[in-house]
Chain A
Amino acid sequence: MSVDAVVVGSGPAGSTVAEALTRAGWTVVIFEKGRNHLLDLSDPTKPARDFSNDEIKFLCRHFLGPDPIVEPRTFRSSPEDGERSHTGEVNSIPSTVGGGGTHADGKVPRLREEDFKLLSLYGPQRDASVADWPLAYEELEPFYTEAEMAIGVAGQAGANPFESFRSAPYPMPPGPPMFGATLSAKAAEALGYHPYPAPTAANSVPYGGRPACNNCGFCAFFGCPIHAKGDPVALLMAAMASGNAKLMPETFVSKILTNGRRATGVEFIGPDGTKRSMEARYVVLAAGAIETPRLLLLSGFDHPLIGRNLMVHFQTIVVGSFPMRLHSERGRAVTHVHDDHILMDRDSRAAAREAGLPWIRGGMVEHSGTSLPIAEAKTYPWGPDHKVQMRESPLRDHLWAFTMQGEDLAQPTNMVDLDPQVRDARGFPVARITYKPHAHEVVASCHHGPRLAEVLKLMGAHWTLVTTTPSCKGALGAGILSPIPQSRHVMGTVRMGENPSASVVDSFGRFHDMDNLVVADSSVFVTSAGYGPTLTLVALASRAAAGLR
């Protein structure tokens, strides 16, 4: 059997490509190693009914996969740790039909103009591979607009004074602000920051045949029981409804088949465990920035940059405990954000100079509470105080937090490769992550963290605490969390660029040295910027699809 395109991965990136290509009349087969809990495959205009407000199922029992027993990953901070320091869960994004789009809480900001040209605007950093993107914001803007329309983004144009150019308003107004966010936004404003309603891929009004969000509060880490979340339900449903797409869940692509400069198809293992292959005119990789390089390495591709320059976001987490109850279990996880810490000002330049760095940039700051009692309970010690703590709830009902998604510089030594020993249950070497932050991230975090704590104090916090993930030497609150980054934003491992020796793919995600092999996910990112990657990767994926047609 031969099709126009096979797409590996059914997350936001794969769904975007599948939708664009099927709309153009192509036949597309989407391979997804995880199970289908998203769509009713007998009638893809209907969602499945498997998602629920269930903390055990989604947070304690790996409902959306990957299960770290059968699909582990390994981690080490650097080769000095030996072959690995940890085996199990590392940076897992759901492995399921819909990928991470199913349980992200969908803050989907655009990048800003300057994010695409850090090298020419601000210059290099030692030991980091800072580079300009091979495309400008202006070239991506129409695809951002298309992406916001397609997945359904609620937001308010003009509310963020630093926002990049937009050719169209958001398709929906923002949803209701959470109580805590009304307070933190006020405090942030009083200190000169500029909070605005988070652009969110959750319906604030009925949109695209899906209902408005009813604020159930089990949002980040949960599938939406009423399918009010946009990506990637919307795009995958559209692709399936076209009649030109076939979805193959529980099917692991184990190899990209090639013949000289051509990818001829893929080899895959279905739910019954047998190995088969499929031919295609085009092979599109959308397995995410960890699994895409893993698949390339499993297939024997040997460009030295494959897997290199892995970026996450260096998260600075600032929490405060408040006298009033904040009932963060009501509403989406995050309703407000601010961008001020991404910009450089006199203070941040001075901090950079003092640390011997040319510049530092922070990231978008999310205003959020916590809402989950099991997670809260596990943070208190056991014994007679447990119930007192749970009733008083300093770490849930009285807690408010800022998370800064700090820009993480690309470093060639941060990478994904194949673990020399550890295997998945199918017998394939798993992805090994080697990651250690650059001084830039640590300095930026130390600079901005205390400033965010000031906001919480003004908001009325009894106490505040600053910590980071990953934790590392020199970082604030070092040692509280682990050296494994908790950020679920992964980027950079199959970098795009104009120069084939300094990049693997071009600005359309096409391999420099292959005729018909394309990467459509955040593996292609050149810088991490201080923003969640999903809208940008969706925009890049639809541009990559346009490049095929």
Chain B
Amino acid sequence: MDLGKDAQTMGYWLTEQEYRTLSYALERLIPADEQTPGAIQAGVADYVDMLLGAFCFDPPRIWAKGPTSGRYGGQPAFGEFHELSALDELAWRIRIEGSKGIPEREFNGAVTGLQESYRQGLAALGDDFCEIDAQAQDERLRAHPEFTALLYEHACEGMYGAPEYGGNKDLIGWRSIGFAGDVQPRGWSDNEVTSR
């Protein structure tokens, strides 16, 4: 399945409206400039959407497999994901879905999940977020510092993490900063390590 295309056309968990707001918000956090593309072109919203919708997949899209991605040789193993243990699943369902009043998930009290944080945070940015100008968008983001901090955390991960998690499309994030990414099994020669 071509993740990039599918994500753009159907989304994993977010509604179309939410996905649009999210994309525009992320672009304000990591905007394109004359030299390099920003969050929209790198598909960072897909990173977030795939995390929020991780449990739509079996195995859930939490941890890519190893040891190699195939980009520098070896098998493209990052394309598959690890099975979760019962404890892993509990942790990630709490993190993503929240505790939802389920006693098993509330051993330390109620927890708000990422899905709810995003649903409320994106709604708070406003339905018209994509239509207002950049300055007004920044003001709205600053008016919601907690949500914006969460967004930025994920923006950085989606921009500069492995593309198998949905972001960093065509390695735009890595290429724009001259980062080689995962290099196994090639690694670096002794000379590349020591010389300038």
Contact = CB atoms under 8 A, between A and B. Distances in A.
Interface string A48-62: 011111111100111
Given A60-B157, A387-B35, 19 more contacts: A35-B85, A51-B66, A52-B67, A54-B161, A69-B94, A70-B87, A70-B94, A177-B194, A182-B194, A214-B185, A214-B187, A330-B193, A373-B174, A374-B160, A378-B153, A383-B29, A387-B36, A391-B177, A423-B107
A61 B62 contact: yes
Contacts of B173: 373
A226 B156 CA distance: 28
A492 interface: no
Interface string B72-108: 0000011000100111101110110000000000011
A377 B87 contact: no
A386 B29 contact: yes
A383 B26 CA distance: 10
Contacts of A355: none
A324 interface: yes
A373 B64 contact: no
A49 B32 CA distance: 37
B28 A382 contact: yes
Report the contact-size class of chain B (Cβ under 8 Å from the partner): 35 or more
Given A61-B62, A382-B148, A383-B29, A425 B90 contact: yes
A182 B191 CA distance: 13
Nearest to B47: A56
22 contacts: A35-B88, A49-B65, A49-B66, A51-B66, A54-B161, A55-B160, A55-B161, A56-B157, A67-B92, A87-B108, A177-B194, A179-B195, A214-B187, A215-B187, A216-B182, A226-B67, A271-B86, A331-B193, A374-B161, A391-B176, A391-B177, A393-B177
A49 B157 CA distance: 24
A216 B193 contact: no
Report the contact-size class of chain A (Cβ under 8 Å from the partner): 35 or more
B113 to A, nearest CB: 10
Interface of A: 35, 49-57, 60-63, 67, 69-70, 72, 87, 175-179, 182, 213-218, 225-226, 250, 271, 273, 324, 327, 329-331, 373-374, 376-378, 382-384, 386-388, 390-391, 393, 397, 422-425, 427
B160 A70 contact: no
Contacts of B91: 62, 67, 69-70, 425
